[in-house]
């Protein structure tokens, strides 16, 4: 089986309790956007996450985890406020961004990883 390429992933993938660990094993750098449909700040950063997914395609895979539908992962990572972006490298949390930050601040944190 060949290595899974991140080249073609230009939009966030859906991450769930069921596929969370496999997603982290599959891709070296994953940013998981923990969100909910009722969360206005989550909706505010969604287009930014979409842009970053396209711009960093091949380097970073972005995922979206609905906290209401995935309580196991939400509890496991102690998500207390949303939006929370979990920055995962080699299946380990290396950073956590809480709140709706501007694109420039999100990009600055990503550049440290790649």
Tens-digit pLDDT profile for residues 3-59: 455 557 999 999 999 999 999 999 999 999 999 999 999 999 999 999 999 999 999
CA 91 to CA 102: how far, in whole Å? Answer: 26
pTM: 0.92
Per-residue model confidence (pLDDT) at position 5: 53
Predicted local distance difference test score (pLDDT) of residue 3:
46
Name the pairing type of β-strands 92-98 and 84-89. antiparallel
Instruction: Calculate the CA 106 to chain-centre distance.
Output: 11
Q: pLDDT-based confidence at 1, cuts 50/70/90?
A: very low
pLDDT of amino acid 4: 52
Cis peptide before 95 (omega within 30 of 0): no
Residue 2 has pLDDT above 60, yes or no: no
Q: Which residues are catalytic?
A: 39, 42
Report pLDDT digits (tens) over 53-99.
Answer: 999 999 999 999 999 999 999 999 999 999 999 999 999 999 999 99
What domains are there in the chain, each with its CATH number? Answer: 13-111 (3.40.30.10)
């Amino acid at each position: 089986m060949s290595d899974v390429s991140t080249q073609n992933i230009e939009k966030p993938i859906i991450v769930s309790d069921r596929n969370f660990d496999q997603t982290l094993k599959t891709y070296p750098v994953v940013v998981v956007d923990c969100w909910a449909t009722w969360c206005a700040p989550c909706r505010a950063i969604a287009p930014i996450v979409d842009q970053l997914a396209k711009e960093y395609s091949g380097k970073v895979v972005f995922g979206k985890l609905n906290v209401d539908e995935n309580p196991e992962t939400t509890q496991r990572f102690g998500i207390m406020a949303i939006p929370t972006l979990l920055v995962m490298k080699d299946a380990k949390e290396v950073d956590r961004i809480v709140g709706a930050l501007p694109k420039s601040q999100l990009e600055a944190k990503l550049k440290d990883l790649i």
